[in-house]
A = this chain, B = another copy of it.
């Protein structure tokens, strides 16, 4: 298997931190390209992504192909010693394709077939699209497989960003084939879907359709299977492109850029990773998120967690504002550096941007870039150059692994299902719950891998498992084995409720986890909007409550009021060499912090003592370990280190990190 990036020969076997951006020269007159090369050199750019939206330029009509311009781009990049992450150019179809192959365009659940003029309007199940896109891939691979600049294949782009689900007739046909593979016969499907409810029973495969607009709540497993199917269809496109590339250019690594964590809600990324040689992710901070650096860290830890702890590539982030949020905040001074290096701390070996030059036209013309509309004579470009210099100093970090003794487990199936209707509360908001646990860990200076629920648990001392509601018994057994072998587990309300197909486990909640957790719940008692309950330890709960009956668990806190008054709210039980906690309400953030502290101590997870809002993450390489210190606070901070900051050359015993600054302290075994 090829390594994550095949750096061209001129790098002399060095593996730098990859630095660059999407480069879309086709949007600019060729005379601009020369300036691009010289500015890239100035900025320290060593890798650019080319061709993401080039299909219409490469194949301007069904009959015509034009690779000349791309030849010139790649040759010029090679001449300037810049490596290329070459996109397969299949992300968006040309106008001729979308208008001639109407049946390849996405159809909404209302039956509206989408039109040309945006991006990704193709149906993931379209044979026409599959054929046309693979022809592009084949030509790209044949033409550029041996190009000296080629360092990595970039399949498609943000697969499923706008075309995650299509409801057309071709999708219907593929869905039936997928179901036949999954269920074998209709009786199994009828049982799994519970079609005896509301007289929904199917008597023939051809009666099954996508979950199109219907009169009221749809069948939940029909809907969940459609989400799974749709994810698999996109994976199918990834596999088809990646397979073709591997056949034609076996020595070139392949990736595709994911959208963690948000798109994970619909796309089962853990089933995609076998198709890529390295995880790549796109992440943009959210202007409306007051603590957006915590959201960034979560995305990075998920990128690493998805790849079982291995380094990964930050394929896109922004130098400043984006264009697609309701209000697109510009980044504050220093934020660009903090953002990029926080990704690096958390395992990224590449920090790339969308995009090199801010577009003059199109929907993203107000998206920031490495070269802004104002041009290179700008504060932003100066920051870009400064970051390039930083990254050059951080080359030793490449390949080292981020130290993370905790697993924060995401069961994608439960996440997807939590977005359907007819649940005890529509306010569950899996994403916000995940963030709340993550934020408690972040605030405690604890680094976790954010991992899929089928990951290897043995790497961790502590697993935090929020709201894994759909849990087969075999999955529960894995958690039991983990705990009995000495692991520590935190489970939360609305967990273990049903099997993976949403069929409820009988006998009391939390179903599959009842025995492991040593408790039983007879009904859910969600809290109303604005309702808050008091717990015996002084903390507060919102959103949910449960009248927990312990069998052999020990209550740690009880409800003092609210619908579950007098019942335990938080419990713990020892099992084998480990222990399992249960949290039956949404604790306030202080209480969540205290719980995380307590659990981490019990799990003997090493703790770092640092001031609030100072992010500390360690990468460990074969020769040295690298402690990233990112000071998000408004105070300068002095930390004791025996080591040297790679960015400034400062050395211990106390290294001062000014407010807003970053330090990367290299420590070698003495």
Contacts and interface: CB of A to CB of B under 8 A. Distances in A.
A373 B524 CA distance: 11
Contacts of A378: 508, 522
A209 interface: yes
Interface string A214-249: 111111111000000000000000000000000000
Given A57-B201, A198-B362, A509-B374, A115 B212 contact: yes
Q: How many copies does the complex hold?
A: 3
A361 B218 CA distance: 12
A61 B193 contact: no
A321 B422 contact: no
A366 B423 contact: yes
Interface stretch (A48-56, A452-460, A636-644): A48-56
B523 A116 contact: no
A432 interface: no
B117 A373 contact: no
B526 A363 contact: no
A53 B196 CA distance: 8
B503 A360 contact: yes
Nearest to A287: B528
Given A110-B110, A362-B194, A425-B327, A200 B95 contact: yes
Contact of A27 (B194, B222, B323, B522): B194
A91 B198 CA distance: 8
A622 interface: no
Interface string A363-374: 111101000111
B121 A215 contact: yes
Given A112-B110, A422-B366, A523 B320 contact: yes
A507 interface: yes
A399 to B, nearest CB: 35
A421 B99 CA distance: 24
A93 B89 CA distance: 46
Given A363-B422, A523-B321, A327 B529 contact: yes
A53 B197 contact: yes
Interface string A491-508: 000000010011111111
Contact of A288 (B24, B27, B326, B528): B528
A421 B421 CA distance: 29
B214 A115 contact: yes
A623 interface: no
A432 to B, nearest CB: 15
A304 to B, nearest CB: 28
A34 interface: no
A363 B117 CA distance: 37
Nearest to A25: B196
Contacts of A196: 24, 26-27, 53, 56-57, 362
Contact of A508 (B116, B195, B287, B375): B375
B332 A563 contact: yes
Contact of A219 (B60, B117, B211): B117
A504 B360 contact: yes
B528 A219 contact: no
B161 A216 contact: yes
A119 interface: yes
Contacts of A358: 504
Contacts of A222: 117
A373 B509 contact: yes
Given A95-B202, A196-B26, A366-B423, A217 B106 contact: no
A53 B199 contact: yes
A99 B522 CA distance: 39
Interface of A: 24, 26-27, 53-57, 60-61, 89, 91-96, 98-99, 106, 108, 110-121, 161-163, 192-204, 206-222, 287-288, 320-321, 323-324, 326-330, 332, 358-366, 368, 372-375, 378-380, 421-427, 498, 501-509, 520-529, 563
Question: 4 tightest CB-CB pairs across the interface, nearest first?
Answer: A194-B361, A197-B362, A56-B201, A115-B212
20 contacts: A60-B203, A61-B204, A89-B199, A92-B199, A95-B202, A95-B203, A111-B112, A115-B212, A116-B214, A121-B214, A194-B360, A197-B361, A200-B362, A326-B425, A327-B425, A328-B425, A330-B525, A366-B423, A373-B508, A378-B522
